[in-house]
Amino acid sequence: MRALRVVSYNVGGSSRWKDQGAWTQAICSAVAEARPDLLAMQEIRARVAPGLVAGLARIGLVPGDGGARERVFYRPGSLRPQGHRRERVDAQSEDGGERFLNWSRWASSEGFSFSLCNVHLVGAANKAAAARQIADSEPSEAAIIAGDFNLLSSHYVHGHLSAAGWQDAALSALVGDAGPTIHRHGAAKRRRVDWILAPFPWAPRAYGVRRLADVALEPSDHHPIWADLAWDPLGTWSAQGLSSPGNPAFSPRGRPPATPK
């Protein structure tokens, strides 16, 4: 099959731009370069949402869920939305607010179905709770996870999801760029805190990060990331030896280990 291109983009840097029209154009240009079939966006502010939805429509992407700050857009033709739900994370974020797992269900024109979980997490307890809830989701959902975790891949939350059967596209794709996905916030800059994770039968073929040479021109403090994922239930695609169903890192999801204290 043709690989499904999933893009994740935190666009929360809009407050640094005085010209919202120029900001919207810059965001949509970045998205257009990434060429998504499915786009997971985080931190969409209410005042920019109408212009952003209109701008994405002009490049062929339409809303696929009913989210607010976290929304999913898709390119009609190869995918059909099958419903969505918001699941509250069972721990407050460090800013005292609620966070949600934004689930959407999709049907491919090639005859299979899958889910996408779009996340934006803040705070240790919030992230740990989200990881447990995601790992406890139904294995049949073949759920892709995309979003801003505000964590490095060395964190136990990443290990928790890996042990539950998800692959990090940045680390398992044949062609990839595991470099930074954020470029501001002092000590946090130049770290990879945005992830795209996928379980069997997805096989990551390629992964990338869209960066501008001059970061001052970036419309957000995050770079958009993308992953090409092939639906491979027979395990015929080889991505650094991880794409065989016999490989534990690529087998159907099981129960995760207990979360470290």
> Which pTM does this prediction carry?
0.86
Range of the domain at 230: 4-250
Residue 124 domain-assigned (yes or no): yes
pLDDT tens for each residue of the chain, 261 residues long: 578 999 999 998 656 677 889 999 999 999 999 999 999 999 998 888 999 999 999 999 999 987 778 999 999 988 999 999 888 887 655 555 677 888 999 999 888 999 999 998 877 677 788 888 888 875 557 899 999 988 888 888 888 888 888 999 999 887 777 788 988 755 556 789 999 999 989 999 999 999 888 877 889 989 999 999 999 988 776 444 443 333 333 333 333 333 333
**What CATH number corresponds to the domain at position 231?**
3.60.10.10
Residue 259 domain-assigned (yes or no): no
What is the rounded radius of gyration, in angstroms, for the C-alpha atoms of the chain? 17
Residue 261 domain-assigned (yes or no): no
Residue 151 domain-assigned (yes or no): yes
Structural domain count, the chain:
1
Residue 257 domain-assigned (yes or no): no
Residue 76 domain-assigned (yes or no): yes
Residue 194 domain-assigned (yes or no): yes
